[in-house]
A and B are shown apart, each in its own frame.
Chain A
Amino acid sequence: MLQLRKLTKTYKTGDQALKAIDLDVPKGQVLALIGPSGAGKSTMIRCINRLVEPTSGEALLDGVDLTKLGAGALRRARREMGMIFQEYALVERLTVMENVLSGRLGYVGFWRSFLRRYPQSDTDEAFRLLDRVGLLHMADKRADELSGGQRQRVGICRALIQNPKLLLVDEPTASLDPKTSRQIMRLITELCRERDLAAIINIHDVALAQMFVPRVVGLRFGEIVYDGLPTGLTPDKLTEIYGEEDWEATIEKVEDEDETEAAE
Protein backbone atom coordinates (compact mmCIF):
# COMPACT_ATOMS: atom_id res chain seq x y z
CA MET A 1 0.00 0.00 0.00
CA LEU A 2 2.83 2.39 0.87
CA GLN A 3 5.90 2.17 -1.31
CA LEU A 4 9.02 4.25 -0.93
CA ARG A 5 11.20 4.36 -4.03
CA LYS A 6 14.71 5.78 -3.68
CA LEU A 7 13.43 8.33 -1.15
CA THR A 8 16.27 10.73 -0.41
CA LYS A 9 16.61 13.72 1.85
CA THR A 10 19.63 15.99 1.88
CA TYR A 11 19.49 18.91 4.28
CA LYS A 12 20.78 22.34 3.30
CA THR A 13 23.77 21.74 5.54
CA GLY A 14 24.73 18.86 3.26
CA ASP A 15 23.79 16.13 5.74
CA GLN A 16 22.30 13.16 3.96
CA ALA A 17 19.53 12.09 6.31
CA LEU A 18 18.05 9.51 3.93
CA LYS A 19 19.99 7.70 1.23
CA ALA A 20 17.66 6.27 -1.41
CA ILE A 21 15.31 4.35 0.86
CA ASP A 22 13.26 1.54 -0.68
CA LEU A 23 10.49 0.12 1.46
CA ASP A 24 7.13 -1.59 0.96
CA VAL A 25 4.48 -1.60 3.64
CA PRO A 26 1.44 -3.76 2.81
CA LYS A 27 -2.04 -2.97 4.09
CA GLY A 28 -2.55 -3.67 7.76
CA GLN A 29 1.08 -4.27 8.59
CA VAL A 30 2.64 -2.70 11.67
CA LEU A 31 6.31 -2.02 11.25
CA ALA A 32 8.86 -0.76 13.74
CA LEU A 33 11.66 1.51 12.58
CA ILE A 34 14.66 1.26 14.88
CA GLY A 35 18.04 2.91 14.82
CA PRO A 36 20.27 5.28 16.75
CA SER A 37 19.42 8.97 17.11
CA GLY A 38 20.23 10.79 13.92
CA ALA A 39 19.77 7.70 11.77
CA GLY A 40 16.95 9.42 9.89
CA LYS A 41 13.94 7.70 11.44
CA SER A 42 12.12 10.92 12.15
CA THR A 43 13.07 12.40 8.80
CA MET A 44 11.76 9.33 7.01
CA ILE A 45 8.24 9.44 8.40
CA ARG A 46 8.14 13.23 7.99
CA CYS A 47 9.13 12.81 4.36
CA ILE A 48 6.15 10.54 3.83
CA ASN A 49 3.57 13.15 4.87
CA ARG A 50 5.89 15.92 3.74
CA LEU A 51 6.28 17.79 6.98
CA VAL A 52 9.82 17.57 5.66
CA GLU A 53 10.18 17.90 1.89
CA PRO A 54 12.10 14.96 0.44
CA THR A 55 14.89 15.89 -1.98
CA SER A 56 14.22 13.14 -4.51
CA GLY A 57 12.58 9.76 -4.90
CA GLU A 58 8.96 8.73 -4.65
CA ALA A 59 6.55 7.87 -1.88
CA LEU A 60 3.50 6.08 -3.29
CA LEU A 61 0.35 5.77 -1.20
CA ASP A 62 -2.07 3.48 -3.07
CA GLY A 63 -0.23 4.33 -6.25
CA VAL A 64 -0.34 8.13 -5.77
CA ASP A 65 3.05 9.79 -5.60
CA LEU A 66 2.89 11.97 -2.50
CA THR A 67 6.06 13.84 -3.36
CA LYS A 68 4.51 15.44 -6.43
CA LEU A 69 1.21 16.63 -4.96
CA GLY A 70 0.22 20.30 -4.95
CA ALA A 71 -0.94 22.05 -1.78
CA GLY A 72 -4.61 21.07 -1.96
CA ALA A 73 -3.98 17.47 -3.00
CA LEU A 74 -1.33 17.18 -0.29
CA ARG A 75 -3.85 18.19 2.35
CA ARG A 76 -6.29 15.56 1.08
CA ALA A 77 -3.48 12.99 1.14
CA ARG A 78 -2.49 13.97 4.68
CA ARG A 79 -6.00 13.06 5.84
CA GLU A 80 -5.19 9.47 4.92
CA MET A 81 -2.15 9.45 7.16
CA GLY A 82 -2.59 9.84 10.90
CA MET A 83 0.44 11.00 12.82
CA ILE A 84 1.32 10.43 16.48
CA PHE A 85 4.11 12.51 18.00
CA GLN A 86 6.89 12.05 20.49
CA GLU A 87 5.97 14.87 22.87
CA TYR A 88 2.26 14.30 22.13
CA ALA A 89 2.09 17.68 20.32
CA LEU A 90 -1.40 18.33 21.60
CA VAL A 91 -2.51 21.92 21.42
CA GLU A 92 -2.07 22.46 25.12
CA ARG A 93 -4.56 25.24 25.64
CA LEU A 94 -7.42 23.51 23.86
CA THR A 95 -9.68 20.92 25.47
CA VAL A 96 -9.28 17.19 24.93
CA MET A 97 -12.36 17.16 22.73
CA GLU A 98 -11.06 20.01 20.55
CA ASN A 99 -7.76 18.21 20.18
CA VAL A 100 -9.48 15.03 19.05
CA LEU A 101 -11.78 16.91 16.69
CA SER A 102 -8.80 18.73 15.20
CA GLY A 103 -8.10 15.42 13.45
CA ARG A 104 -11.12 16.22 11.26
CA LEU A 105 -9.74 19.57 10.12
CA GLY A 106 -8.91 18.20 6.70
CA TYR A 107 -12.59 17.26 6.20
CA VAL A 108 -14.45 20.33 7.45
CA GLY A 109 -14.36 23.91 6.20
CA PHE A 110 -12.60 26.74 7.99
CA TRP A 111 -15.64 28.43 9.53
CA ARG A 112 -17.10 25.18 10.78
CA SER A 113 -13.85 24.35 12.50
CA PHE A 114 -13.38 27.91 13.74
CA LEU A 115 -16.82 27.95 15.36
CA ARG A 116 -16.35 24.36 16.64
CA ARG A 117 -19.50 23.24 14.78
CA TYR A 118 -18.39 19.80 13.67
CA PRO A 119 -20.89 17.42 12.04
CA GLN A 120 -22.63 15.22 14.58
CA SER A 121 -21.03 12.11 13.07
CA ASP A 122 -17.60 13.57 13.89
CA THR A 123 -18.46 14.38 17.49
CA ASP A 124 -19.97 10.91 17.93
CA GLU A 125 -16.83 9.33 16.56
CA ALA A 126 -14.74 11.47 18.91
CA PHE A 127 -16.82 10.29 21.85
CA ARG A 128 -16.43 6.66 20.77
CA LEU A 129 -12.67 6.98 20.39
CA LEU A 130 -12.27 8.70 23.75
CA ASP A 131 -14.38 5.96 25.29
CA ARG A 132 -12.20 3.33 23.61
CA VAL A 133 -9.03 4.78 25.16
CA GLY A 134 -10.78 5.34 28.50
CA LEU A 135 -10.76 9.13 28.54
CA LEU A 136 -14.39 9.97 27.89
CA HIS A 137 -14.78 11.59 31.30
CA MET A 138 -11.87 13.92 30.45
CA ALA A 139 -13.47 15.28 27.27
CA ASP A 140 -13.81 18.85 28.52
CA LYS A 141 -10.51 19.01 30.41
CA ARG A 142 -7.76 21.16 28.98
CA ALA A 143 -4.96 19.14 27.39
CA ASP A 144 -2.29 20.52 29.71
CA GLU A 145 -4.12 19.09 32.73
CA LEU A 146 -3.50 15.53 31.51
CA SER A 147 -0.69 13.14 32.39
CA GLY A 148 1.76 11.97 29.74
CA GLY A 149 0.03 8.66 29.06
CA GLN A 150 -3.36 10.34 28.86
CA ARG A 151 -2.04 12.95 26.45
CA GLN A 152 -0.63 10.29 24.17
CA ARG A 153 -4.03 8.54 24.17
CA VAL A 154 -5.61 11.80 23.06
CA GLY A 155 -2.91 12.02 20.37
CA ILE A 156 -3.88 8.54 19.21
CA CYS A 157 -7.56 9.53 19.05
CA ARG A 158 -6.65 12.59 17.00
CA ALA A 159 -4.78 10.43 14.51
CA LEU A 160 -7.54 7.80 14.30
CA ILE A 161 -10.45 10.20 13.84
CA GLN A 162 -8.85 11.13 10.52
CA ASN A 163 -9.93 7.65 9.44
CA PRO A 164 -6.48 7.04 8.00
CA LYS A 165 -5.08 4.15 6.00
CA LEU A 166 -1.69 4.54 7.55
CA LEU A 167 -0.37 5.64 10.92
CA LEU A 168 2.96 7.45 11.17
CA VAL A 169 4.13 7.14 14.74
CA ASP A 170 7.16 9.13 15.90
CA GLU A 171 8.72 7.83 19.14
CA PRO A 172 5.37 7.38 20.88
CA THR A 173 6.92 6.29 24.16
CA ALA A 174 10.01 8.46 24.43
CA SER A 175 8.59 10.67 27.17
CA LEU A 176 6.70 7.96 29.06
CA ASP A 177 7.57 5.63 31.91
CA PRO A 178 8.10 1.91 31.08
CA LYS A 179 4.66 0.75 32.14
CA THR A 180 2.79 3.48 30.32
CA SER A 181 5.05 2.91 27.31
CA ARG A 182 3.88 -0.66 27.05
CA GLN A 183 0.25 0.30 27.48
CA ILE A 184 0.55 2.84 24.72
CA MET A 185 2.33 0.43 22.38
CA ARG A 186 -0.29 -2.22 23.08
CA LEU A 187 -3.08 0.28 22.43
CA ILE A 188 -1.56 1.36 19.13
CA THR A 189 -1.01 -2.19 17.87
CA GLU A 190 -4.48 -3.30 19.02
CA LEU A 191 -6.16 -0.39 17.32
CA CYS A 192 -4.23 -1.09 14.12
CA ARG A 193 -5.43 -4.67 14.21
CA GLU A 194 -9.05 -3.62 14.88
CA ARG A 195 -9.06 -1.21 11.98
CA ASP A 196 -6.71 -3.10 9.67
CA LEU A 197 -4.32 -0.14 9.64
CA ALA A 198 -0.76 -0.09 8.48
CA ALA A 199 1.66 1.72 10.76
CA ILE A 200 5.28 2.80 10.81
CA ILE A 201 6.43 3.19 14.38
CA ASN A 202 9.70 4.97 15.09
CA ILE A 203 11.06 3.60 18.28
CA HIS A 204 14.45 3.60 19.93
CA ASP A 205 13.57 0.97 22.51
CA VAL A 206 14.46 -2.32 20.79
CA ALA A 207 12.92 -4.47 23.49
CA LEU A 208 9.60 -2.70 23.19
CA ALA A 209 9.65 -3.03 19.42
CA GLN A 210 10.35 -6.75 19.58
CA MET A 211 7.52 -7.21 22.02
CA PHE A 212 4.73 -5.77 19.91
CA VAL A 213 5.61 -5.71 16.22
CA PRO A 214 5.83 -8.40 13.58
CA ARG A 215 8.37 -6.61 11.38
CA VAL A 216 11.41 -4.54 12.26
CA VAL A 217 13.38 -2.25 9.97
CA GLY A 218 16.78 -1.06 11.16
CA LEU A 219 18.09 2.26 9.94
CA ARG A 220 21.67 3.47 10.18
CA PHE A 221 23.06 6.67 8.65
CA GLY A 222 19.97 6.96 6.46
CA GLU A 223 20.22 3.41 5.07
CA ILE A 224 18.19 0.30 5.76
CA VAL A 225 20.54 -2.24 7.30
CA TYR A 226 17.97 -4.71 8.62
CA ASP A 227 14.49 -5.72 7.51
CA GLY A 228 12.89 -8.78 8.97
CA LEU A 229 11.33 -10.51 11.94
CA PRO A 230 11.97 -9.16 15.44
CA THR A 231 13.44 -12.53 16.41
CA GLY A 232 16.11 -12.09 13.78
CA LEU A 233 17.69 -9.22 15.68
CA THR A 234 20.83 -10.94 16.87
CA PRO A 235 23.59 -9.13 18.78
CA ASP A 236 25.50 -8.96 15.47
CA LYS A 237 22.62 -7.24 13.76
CA LEU A 238 22.15 -4.80 16.64
CA THR A 239 25.85 -3.98 16.50
CA GLU A 240 25.46 -3.28 12.83
CA ILE A 241 22.58 -0.92 13.50
CA TYR A 242 23.71 0.80 16.68
CA GLY A 243 27.44 0.18 16.88
CA GLU A 244 29.50 -1.85 19.34
CA GLU A 245 27.83 -2.57 22.68
CA ASP A 246 26.99 -5.54 24.89
CA TRP A 247 23.59 -6.60 23.62
CA GLU A 248 23.05 -9.80 25.58
CA ALA A 249 21.34 -8.00 28.46
CA THR A 250 18.87 -6.25 26.16
CA ILE A 251 17.90 -9.40 24.37
CA GLU A 252 17.64 -11.40 27.53
CA LYS A 253 15.40 -8.78 28.99
CA VAL A 254 13.14 -9.12 26.00
CA GLU A 255 12.77 -12.81 26.56
CA ASP A 256 12.03 -12.28 30.25
CA GLU A 257 9.40 -9.76 29.42
CA ASP A 258 7.86 -12.04 26.85
CA GLU A 259 7.43 -14.67 29.53
CA THR A 260 5.77 -12.28 31.91
CA GLU A 261 3.56 -11.10 29.07
CA ALA A 262 2.50 -14.68 28.45
CA ALA A 263 1.85 -15.27 32.10
CA GLU A 264 -0.51 -12.33 32.41
Chain B
Amino acid sequence: MPVFERDDTQIWRRRTTRENMIRWFGWLAGLVVFAWCWQIISASTTWFFVWDAPRIANDIWTRATPPRWEYITQLGRPIWDTLNIATLGTIIALFLAVPVAFLAAQNTTPSKLLIRPLALLIIVSTRSINSLIWALLLIAIIGPGVFAGVIAIAIRSVGFCAKLLYEAIEEIDHSQVEAITATGGSRWQVMAYGIVPQILPAFAGIAVFRWDINIRESTVLGLVGAGGIGLQLSASLNVLAWPQVSLILIVILVAVIISEWVSAKVRGAII
Protein backbone atom coordinates (compact mmCIF):
# COMPACT_ATOMS: atom_id res chain seq x y z
CA MET B 1 0.00 0.00 0.00
CA PRO B 2 2.18 2.83 -1.24
CA VAL B 3 1.49 6.45 -0.48
CA PHE B 4 3.00 9.07 -2.78
CA GLU B 5 3.53 12.70 -2.08
CA ARG B 6 2.90 15.10 -4.89
CA ASP B 7 2.21 18.80 -4.60
CA ASP B 8 1.96 18.42 -0.83
CA THR B 9 -0.96 16.03 -1.10
CA GLN B 10 -0.69 12.37 -0.30
CA ILE B 11 -1.92 10.06 -2.98
CA TRP B 12 -2.90 6.58 -1.95
CA ARG B 13 -2.64 3.70 -4.37
CA ARG B 14 -3.53 0.12 -3.67
CA ARG B 15 -0.46 -1.20 -5.45
CA THR B 16 2.94 0.12 -6.39
CA THR B 17 3.67 0.96 -10.00
CA ARG B 18 5.76 -2.13 -10.30
CA GLU B 19 2.96 -4.35 -8.98
CA ASN B 20 0.59 -2.70 -11.41
CA MET B 21 2.94 -3.40 -14.29
CA ILE B 22 3.23 -7.04 -13.34
CA ARG B 23 -0.54 -7.34 -13.11
CA TRP B 24 -1.14 -5.74 -16.48
CA PHE B 25 1.52 -7.88 -18.02
CA GLY B 26 -0.13 -10.97 -16.53
CA TRP B 27 -3.50 -10.06 -17.99
CA LEU B 28 -1.91 -9.32 -21.33
CA ALA B 29 -0.13 -12.66 -21.39
CA GLY B 30 -3.41 -14.37 -20.54
CA LEU B 31 -5.12 -12.58 -23.38
CA VAL B 32 -2.41 -13.59 -25.83
CA VAL B 33 -2.65 -17.24 -24.76
CA PHE B 34 -6.41 -17.16 -25.15
CA ALA B 35 -6.18 -15.54 -28.57
CA TRP B 36 -3.68 -18.17 -29.66
CA CYS B 37 -5.95 -20.98 -28.43
CA TRP B 38 -8.87 -19.48 -30.24
CA GLN B 39 -6.76 -19.23 -33.36
CA ILE B 40 -6.06 -22.97 -33.26
CA ILE B 41 -9.69 -23.89 -32.66
CA SER B 42 -10.76 -21.58 -35.43
CA ALA B 43 -8.22 -23.01 -37.85
CA SER B 44 -9.57 -26.54 -37.49
CA THR B 45 -13.19 -25.48 -37.76
CA THR B 46 -15.12 -25.56 -40.98
CA TRP B 47 -16.80 -22.20 -40.67
CA PHE B 48 -19.19 -22.95 -43.47
CA PHE B 49 -20.87 -25.53 -41.22
CA VAL B 50 -20.93 -23.09 -38.34
CA TRP B 51 -22.74 -20.42 -40.35
CA ASP B 52 -25.11 -23.12 -41.41
CA ALA B 53 -25.64 -24.23 -37.81
CA PRO B 54 -28.96 -22.47 -37.11
CA ARG B 55 -30.53 -24.15 -40.12
CA ILE B 56 -29.16 -27.54 -39.12
CA ALA B 57 -30.24 -27.11 -35.51
CA ASN B 58 -33.69 -26.21 -36.69
CA ASP B 59 -33.69 -29.20 -38.99
CA ILE B 60 -32.70 -31.57 -36.21
CA TRP B 61 -35.29 -30.07 -33.94
CA THR B 62 -38.12 -30.60 -36.44
CA ARG B 63 -37.01 -34.16 -37.06
CA ALA B 64 -36.64 -34.95 -33.36
CA THR B 65 -40.07 -33.71 -32.35
CA PRO B 66 -42.31 -35.25 -31.39
CA PRO B 67 -40.32 -38.03 -29.66
CA ARG B 68 -41.27 -41.55 -30.61
CA TRP B 69 -43.06 -42.37 -27.36
CA GLU B 70 -43.86 -46.00 -28.16
CA TYR B 71 -40.10 -46.69 -28.32
CA ILE B 72 -40.12 -46.55 -24.51
CA THR B 73 -41.25 -50.20 -24.41
CA GLN B 74 -37.86 -51.21 -25.75
CA LEU B 75 -36.00 -49.13 -23.19
CA GLY B 76 -37.01 -51.09 -20.05
CA ARG B 77 -34.07 -53.45 -20.11
CA PRO B 78 -31.47 -50.79 -20.98
CA ILE B 79 -32.68 -48.61 -18.09
CA TRP B 80 -32.45 -51.57 -15.73
CA ASP B 81 -28.91 -52.28 -16.99
CA THR B 82 -27.94 -48.64 -16.51
CA LEU B 83 -29.18 -48.69 -12.93
CA ASN B 84 -27.24 -51.90 -12.27
CA ILE B 85 -24.04 -50.57 -13.76
CA ALA B 86 -24.21 -47.52 -11.51
CA THR B 87 -25.25 -49.33 -8.33
CA LEU B 88 -23.04 -52.41 -8.56
CA GLY B 89 -20.14 -50.27 -9.74
CA THR B 90 -20.54 -47.99 -6.75
CA ILE B 91 -20.74 -50.92 -4.30
CA ILE B 92 -17.60 -52.56 -5.69
CA ALA B 93 -15.82 -49.21 -5.67
CA LEU B 94 -16.69 -48.61 -2.02
CA PHE B 95 -15.33 -52.02 -1.00
CA LEU B 96 -12.05 -51.20 -2.72
CA ALA B 97 -11.94 -47.56 -1.64
CA VAL B 98 -12.10 -48.23 2.11
CA PRO B 99 -8.76 -50.05 2.44
CA VAL B 100 -7.11 -47.65 -0.03
CA ALA B 101 -8.33 -44.67 2.00
CA PHE B 102 -7.02 -46.13 5.26
CA LEU B 103 -3.66 -46.77 3.63
CA ALA B 104 -3.57 -43.25 2.20
CA ALA B 105 -4.58 -41.24 5.28
CA GLN B 106 -1.63 -39.75 7.15
CA ASN B 107 -2.90 -40.90 10.54
CA THR B 108 -3.79 -44.50 9.69
CA THR B 109 -1.27 -45.50 7.05
CA PRO B 110 1.09 -48.26 8.15
CA SER B 111 4.00 -46.74 6.28
CA LYS B 112 4.35 -43.16 5.12
CA LEU B 113 7.32 -43.85 2.92
CA LEU B 114 6.21 -46.93 1.05
CA ILE B 115 2.50 -47.65 1.24
CA ARG B 116 1.06 -44.13 1.34
CA PRO B 117 2.58 -43.04 -2.00
CA LEU B 118 1.35 -46.29 -3.53
CA ALA B 119 -2.19 -45.67 -2.28
CA LEU B 120 -2.05 -42.08 -3.51
CA LEU B 121 -0.88 -43.32 -6.89
CA ILE B 122 -3.89 -45.65 -7.11
CA ILE B 123 -6.15 -42.73 -6.21
CA VAL B 124 -4.66 -40.32 -8.73
CA SER B 125 -4.46 -42.74 -11.63
CA THR B 126 -8.00 -44.09 -11.28
CA ARG B 127 -9.40 -40.61 -10.72
CA SER B 128 -7.66 -38.90 -13.63
CA ILE B 129 -9.12 -41.18 -16.25
CA ASN B 130 -12.74 -40.89 -17.23
CA SER B 131 -15.01 -43.92 -16.92
CA LEU B 132 -15.57 -43.87 -20.69
CA ILE B 133 -11.87 -44.47 -21.22
CA TRP B 134 -11.84 -47.23 -18.64
CA ALA B 135 -14.81 -48.71 -20.49
CA LEU B 136 -12.94 -48.53 -23.81
CA LEU B 137 -10.01 -50.31 -22.25
CA LEU B 138 -12.14 -52.98 -20.57
CA ILE B 139 -14.08 -53.63 -23.75
CA ALA B 140 -10.81 -54.22 -25.54
CA ILE B 141 -9.84 -56.65 -22.78
CA ILE B 142 -13.01 -58.50 -21.74
CA GLY B 143 -15.40 -57.71 -24.55
CA PRO B 144 -18.45 -55.42 -24.71
CA GLY B 145 -21.35 -55.68 -22.29
CA VAL B 146 -22.77 -54.65 -18.94
CA PHE B 147 -19.95 -56.32 -17.04
CA ALA B 148 -17.33 -54.05 -18.64
CA GLY B 149 -19.50 -51.08 -17.68
CA VAL B 150 -19.74 -52.18 -14.05
CA ILE B 151 -15.99 -52.62 -13.78
CA ALA B 152 -15.29 -49.32 -15.57
CA ILE B 153 -17.54 -47.41 -13.18
CA ALA B 154 -16.02 -49.25 -10.23
CA ILE B 155 -12.44 -48.42 -11.20
CA ARG B 156 -13.23 -44.78 -11.90
CA SER B 157 -15.02 -44.41 -8.57
CA VAL B 158 -12.32 -46.02 -6.41
CA GLY B 159 -10.02 -43.02 -6.60
CA PHE B 160 -12.81 -40.50 -6.13
CA CYS B 161 -14.29 -42.22 -3.07
CA ALA B 162 -10.91 -43.04 -1.56
CA LYS B 163 -9.78 -39.43 -1.87
CA LEU B 164 -12.82 -37.99 -0.12
CA LEU B 165 -12.71 -40.76 2.48
CA TYR B 166 -9.05 -40.34 3.35
CA GLU B 167 -9.59 -36.62 3.75
CA ALA B 168 -12.40 -37.43 6.18
CA ILE B 169 -10.12 -39.84 8.06
CA GLU B 170 -7.44 -37.19 8.38
CA GLU B 171 -9.96 -34.79 9.91
CA ILE B 172 -11.18 -37.04 12.73
CA ASP B 173 -10.99 -36.04 16.38
CA HIS B 174 -7.81 -37.65 17.61
CA SER B 175 -8.74 -37.63 21.29
CA GLN B 176 -11.49 -40.19 20.69
CA VAL B 177 -8.94 -42.51 19.12
CA GLU B 178 -6.59 -41.87 22.01
CA ALA B 179 -9.31 -42.75 24.50
CA ILE B 180 -9.96 -46.11 22.85
CA THR B 181 -6.22 -46.81 22.67
CA ALA B 182 -5.95 -46.06 26.39
CA THR B 183 -8.50 -48.77 27.23
CA GLY B 184 -6.10 -51.36 25.84
CA GLY B 185 -8.00 -52.03 22.61
CA SER B 186 -6.16 -53.72 19.77
CA ARG B 187 -5.37 -51.96 16.48
CA TRP B 188 -8.56 -53.29 14.87
CA GLN B 189 -10.67 -52.41 17.89
CA VAL B 190 -9.30 -48.88 17.85
CA MET B 191 -10.32 -48.70 14.22
CA ALA B 192 -13.81 -50.10 14.81
CA TYR B 193 -14.57 -47.97 17.87
CA GLY B 194 -12.42 -44.87 17.51
CA ILE B 195 -12.28 -44.18 13.78
CA VAL B 196 -15.17 -45.88 12.00
CA PRO B 197 -18.01 -44.19 13.92
CA GLN B 198 -16.45 -40.82 13.19
CA ILE B 199 -16.20 -41.31 9.43
CA LEU B 200 -19.45 -43.22 8.94
CA PRO B 201 -21.56 -40.14 8.06
CA ALA B 202 -18.92 -38.98 5.57
CA PHE B 203 -18.80 -42.48 4.11
CA ALA B 204 -22.55 -42.63 3.59
CA GLY B 205 -22.53 -39.16 2.06
CA ILE B 206 -19.74 -40.07 -0.34
CA ALA B 207 -21.50 -43.30 -1.32
CA VAL B 208 -24.73 -41.57 -2.31
CA PHE B 209 -22.92 -38.67 -3.94
CA ARG B 210 -20.87 -41.01 -6.11
CA TRP B 211 -23.91 -43.15 -6.91
CA ASP B 212 -25.63 -40.05 -8.25
CA ILE B 213 -22.64 -39.22 -10.46
CA ASN B 214 -22.41 -42.84 -11.60
CA ILE B 215 -26.02 -42.87 -12.76
CA ARG B 216 -25.10 -39.96 -15.06
CA GLU B 217 -21.95 -41.61 -16.28
CA SER B 218 -23.51 -45.01 -16.86
CA THR B 219 -26.12 -43.51 -19.17
CA VAL B 220 -23.43 -42.76 -21.74
CA LEU B 221 -21.17 -45.80 -21.27
CA GLY B 222 -23.14 -47.55 -23.98
CA LEU B 223 -21.72 -45.15 -26.55
CA VAL B 224 -18.54 -47.20 -26.49
CA GLY B 225 -20.37 -50.50 -26.09
CA ALA B 226 -20.39 -51.00 -22.34
CA GLY B 227 -24.12 -51.64 -21.94
CA GLY B 228 -27.01 -49.60 -20.67
CA ILE B 229 -29.18 -47.02 -22.36
CA GLY B 230 -26.21 -45.47 -24.16
CA LEU B 231 -26.23 -48.48 -26.52
CA GLN B 232 -29.71 -47.51 -27.72
CA LEU B 233 -28.62 -43.90 -28.00
CA SER B 234 -25.66 -44.74 -30.16
CA ALA B 235 -27.70 -47.15 -32.30
CA SER B 236 -30.37 -44.50 -32.85
CA LEU B 237 -27.75 -41.87 -33.67
CA ASN B 238 -26.10 -44.14 -36.20
CA VAL B 239 -29.32 -44.52 -38.17
CA LEU B 240 -30.24 -40.86 -37.57
CA ALA B 241 -33.48 -41.87 -35.85
CA TRP B 242 -33.90 -38.47 -34.20
CA PRO B 243 -37.35 -39.11 -32.65
CA GLN B 244 -35.80 -42.04 -30.75
CA VAL B 245 -32.80 -39.94 -29.77
CA SER B 246 -35.00 -37.26 -28.28
CA LEU B 247 -36.97 -39.85 -26.30
CA ILE B 248 -33.76 -41.37 -24.94
CA LEU B 249 -32.48 -37.94 -23.97
CA ILE B 250 -35.71 -37.27 -22.10
CA VAL B 251 -35.38 -40.61 -20.30
CA ILE B 252 -31.77 -39.82 -19.35
CA LEU B 253 -32.78 -36.40 -18.09
CA VAL B 254 -35.53 -37.89 -15.94
CA ALA B 255 -33.13 -40.52 -14.58
CA VAL B 256 -30.59 -37.84 -13.69
CA ILE B 257 -33.19 -35.72 -11.94
CA ILE B 258 -34.54 -38.71 -9.99
CA SER B 259 -31.09 -39.83 -8.91
CA GLU B 260 -30.19 -36.32 -7.80
CA TRP B 261 -33.42 -36.12 -5.83
CA VAL B 262 -32.80 -39.52 -4.19
CA SER B 263 -29.23 -38.65 -3.25
CA ALA B 264 -30.26 -35.28 -1.82
CA LYS B 265 -32.97 -37.02 0.26
CA VAL B 266 -30.63 -39.69 1.57
CA ARG B 267 -27.90 -37.19 2.40
CA GLY B 268 -30.46 -35.05 4.21
CA ALA B 269 -31.52 -38.08 6.26
CA ILE B 270 -27.94 -38.89 7.26
CA ILE B 271 -26.84 -35.41 8.28
Q: Give the chain A neighbours of B182 by CB distance below 8 A.
A: 49, 51, 78, 81, 83, 168
Q: Give the chain A neighbours of B175 by CB distance below 8 A.
A: 85-87, 89
Q: Give the chain B neighbours of A51 by CB distance below 8 A.
A: 178, 181-182
Nearest-CB distance from B14 to chain A (Å)?
40
What separation, in Å, do the CA atoms of A35 and B106 have in the docked complex? 33
Identify A105's interface contact among B176, B183, B197, B198, CB under 8 A: B183
> Provided the pairs A51-B178, A85-B179, A89-B178 are in contact, do residues A94 and B184 lie with their beta carbons within 8 angstroms?
no
Is the beta-carbon distance between A93 and B184 smaller than 8 angstroms? no
Identify A85's interface contact among B178, B189, B193, CB under 8 A: B178
In the complex, whether B17 has a CB less than 8 A from a CB of chain A is: no
Q: Give the chain A neighbours of B178 by CB distance below 8 A.
A: 51, 85, 89
Q: Give the chain B neighbours of A113 by CB distance below 8 A.
A: 185, 189, 192-193
Interface residues of A in 98-128 (CB under 8 A from B): 98, 102-107, 110, 113-114
Nearest-CB distance from A93 to chain B (Å)?
4
Identify A93's interface contact among B179, B180, B189, B201, CB under 8 A: B201
> Provided the pairs A105-B189, A114-B192 are in contact, do residues A91 and B197 lie with their beta carbons within 8 angstroms?
yes
What separation, in Å, do the CA atoms of A86 and B192 have in the docked complex? 23
In the complex, whether B225 has a CB less than 8 A from a CB of chain A is: no
> Provided the pairs A91-B193, A91-B198, A114-B192 are in contact, do residues A106 and B184 lie with their beta carbons within 8 angstroms?
yes
Contact digits for B179-211, partner A, Cβ 8 Å, 1 yes 0 no: 111111110110011100110110000000000
What separation, in Å, do the CA atoms of A158 and B181 have in the docked complex? 12
Is the beta-carbon distance between A102 and B197 smaller than 8 angstroms? no
Interface residues of A in 101-157 (CB under 8 A from B): 102-107, 110, 113-114, 155
Is the beta-carbon distance between B179 and A105 smaller than 8 angstroms? no
Q: Give the chain B neighbours of A79 by CB distance below 8 A.
A: 183-184
Q: Give the chain A neighbours of B198 by CB distance below 8 A.
A: 91-93
Is the beta-carbon distance between B192 and A110 smaller than 8 angstroms? yes
With both beta carbons as reference points, the residue of chain A lying nearest to B195 in the complex is identified as A91
In the complex, whether A195 has a CB less than 8 A from a CB of chain B is: no
What separation, in Å, do the CA atoms of A113 and B190 have in the docked complex? 11
Is the beta-carbon distance between B183 and A93 smaller than 8 angstroms? no
> 29 A-B pairs, CB-CB below 8 angstroms?
A51-B178, A75-B184, A75-B185, A75-B186, A77-B184, A78-B182, A78-B184, A83-B182, A85-B175, A85-B179, A86-B175, A87-B175, A89-B178, A89-B179, A90-B176, A90-B179, A91-B197, A93-B197, A93-B201, A94-B193, A105-B184, A105-B185, A105-B189, A106-B183, A106-B185, A110-B186, A113-B193, A155-B179, A158-B179
> Which B residues form the contact surface with A (CB < 8 A)?
173, 175-176, 178-186, 188-189, 192-194, 197-198, 200-201
Nearest 4 A/B pairs, CB to CB: A106-B184, A105-B185, A78-B184, A89-B179
With A102-B180, A113-B189 known, 11 other A-B pairs at CB within 8 A are A51-B181, A81-B182, A85-B178, A89-B176, A91-B179, A91-B197, A92-B198, A105-B180, A107-B184, A110-B188, A110-B189
> Which A residues form the contact surface with B (CB < 8 A)?
49, 51, 75-79, 81-83, 85-87, 89-94, 98, 102-107, 110, 113-114, 155, 158, 162, 168
